[in-house]
Structure 1
Amino acid sequence: MFEPRPIIALDFPDMASVKRFLSHFPSDEKLYLKVGMELFYACGPEIVTYLKEQGHSVFLDLKLHDIPNTVESAMRVLAKLKVDMINVHAAGGVEMMRAARRGFGHEGILIAVTQLTSTTEKAMQADQNIQTSLVDSVQHYAQKTAEADLDGVVCSAQEVAVIKEATTAGFLCLTPGIRPKGSSVGDQKRVMSPQEARAIGSNFIVVGRPIIQAEDPLGAYHAIKTAWNA
């Protein structure tokens, strides 16, 4: 599976900001949009409903991580929003991820976060007391995600090849931390360009600031889309 549209991270604090951003795009251009914690907590389910009514695809990025019963119940509620993709934290364990699958069903894509792209190996070892390499940790989480019958993982593009080898070719890899060559990396530590992510086998990419903070968001989006599809 290959998604030709870069997923745009709608890292905005309110609905008005989202509408201003989307006004840069033709009404007939259907986008793939990521709604994260900031926007969802500010607007609630209304933001997802609005975007779906406009014909856009939605990745609801809430990274659920709780006891299995709570996650399953929450997923049953979120499934009613008909989002195209949603995620949990793989660190919650196989039982929790299986509960998420039961709650969400199979109508959309369910993936798990391995290690955040803002996490370095040194920080992982110090903060999480995971005394392996970062790549080993990501690979382990990916295998457990596959064991739980989820569709794929969120990971750095630098780990895609290892994950595909450790799971299956059809196991999905969504990679945030995508930056066009020469742009600022911000708080991301493990980044790649769209071309590099495509070459290494990513199925989806997520791009935020290089598009939403651009002087010409439409032009920036299409430049990244062209590079991703090259």
Structure 2
Amino acid sequence: MAGTLIVGLDLDTRREAEAIVERLGEGVDHYKIGYQLFYGGDGLALGKALIAAGKKVFFDLKLLDIDNTVEKGVAAIAETGAAMLTVHAYPKTMAAARRGAAGSALSVLGVTVLTSTDDGDLADAGYARDAAGLVAQRAGQARDAGIGGIVASAREAEMVREIVGQEMFVVTPGIRPAGSDAGDQKRVVTPSAAVSAGASHLVVARPIIKAEDPHAAARSILADMAGGVRLA
């Protein structure tokens, strides 16, 4: 398979997000709603509307709290019919999230190391492991927790795929077409390279939503993804 494109609606308002969805039309079925839109732009209501319209919605909320709070929060998101939800990839948090999603179609994703974070940033934060080592540890913990997948840089996707096997989702943000601006991302990869490495879902926001022609930008990325088809 060539992987699935998720467009990140990293915008301030519901009106802006709906305009992007309209411009992308039938060419995109999966959308991510994160902090910016969820908290400031009526993102929860928009997500429910997109789900009702037949779209797949990924709420990128990176939950982390005591077990009961995580479990109940995940259960509430599951009730919306969302396809994906992120939590921090801590063993207790992932276990609680799995319980909250039980019996629903919601896939819980454990966030390993942010794509804007490098080895130096981890050292500053007090971690004794480099990014790849920490991703590997959390990937194994996510597998053992029995959740739906993990979020990691595509630079670690091949390693992660070997750890989690073929059934779990490997969702990769920090995707940038060749020659585009990396912005605040530090561990970026092209769409075709991400798919070749074993990513199942690619999250792309700015290269599409900030493009002069978002529809054309999405088509170009989908074409690049098709060129990176992973056979096994």
Q: Please state which band the TM-score falls in when normalised by the shorter chain.
A: over 0.9
Could you list the runs of 5+ residues in structure 1 that have no partner in the other structure?
Answer: none
Could you list the runs of 5+ residues in structure 2 that have no partner in the other structure?
Answer: 228-232
Aligned-pair CA distance for 1:209: 0.5
* Structure 1 counterpart of 2:92: 95
TM-score of the superposed pair, with normalisation by structure 2: 0.92
* Structure 2 counterpart of 1:162: 159
Choose which of 209, 212, 220 in structure 2 pairs with 1:212: 209
1:185 aligns with 2:182: yes
Q: Which amino acid letter does the alignment assign opposite residue 198 of structure 1?
A: V
Partners of 1:75 and 1:108 lie apart in 2 by: 9
**Equivalent residues of 1:68, 1:97 under 8 A apart:** no
Aligned-pair CA distance for 1:30: 4.8
Partners of 1:168 and 1:4 lie apart in 2 by: 16
Q: Which amino acid letter does the alignment assign opposite residue 72 of structure 2?
A: S
Give deviations 1:125-169, integer Å, cap 9, x for gaps: 111x11122111110011111111112110001111211222323
Choose which of 220, 223, 226 in structure 1 pairs with 2:220: 223
* Structure 2 counterpart of 1:109: 107
* Structure 2 counterpart of 1:77: 76
Change (3 A) 1:213 1:8: same
Aligned-pair CA distance for 1:3: 6.7
**Equivalent residues of 1:30, 1:55 under 8 A apart:** no
Partners of 2:216 and 2:97 lie apart in 1 by: 38
Aligned-pair CA distance for 1:29: 4.1
* Structure 2 counterpart of 1:36: 34
Q: How many residues align?
A: 225
Aligned partner of residue 23 in structure 2, secondary structure: coil
Partners of 1:3 and 1:182 lie apart in 2 by: 21
Aligned-pair CA distance for 1:53: 2.2
Aligned partner of residue 158 in structure 1, secondary structure: helix
Aligned-pair CA distance for 1:113: 0.2
**Equivalent residues of 1:3, 1:204 under 8 A apart:** no
Change (3 A) 1:101 1:199: same
Q: Which amino acid letter does the alignment assign opposite residue 114 of structure 2?
A: L
Change (3 A) 1:30 1:214: closer
Aligned-pair CA distance for 1:172: 2.0
Give deviations 1:146-196, integer Å, cap 9, x for gaps: 111112110001111211222323232100000000000000000000011
* Structure 2 counterpart of 1:139: 136
**Equivalent residues of 2:136, 2:163 under 8 A apart:** yes
Partners of 2:151 and 2:22 lie apart in 1 by: 29
Percent identity (aligned): 35
**TM superposition outliers: structure 1 runs of 4+ over 4 Å:** none
Partners of 1:169 and 1:31 lie apart in 2 by: 22
Q: Which amino acid letter does the alignment assign opposite residue 157 of structure 2?
A: V
Change (3 A) 1:145 1:4: closer
* Structure 2 counterpart of 1:59: 58
Partners of 1:29 and 1:182 lie apart in 2 by: 23
Aligned partner of residue 116 in structure 1, secondary structure: coil
User: Once structures 1 and 2 are overlaid, which stretch shifts more, 72-81 or 103-112?
Assistant: 103-112
**Equivalent residues of 1:210, 1:220 under 8 A apart:** yes
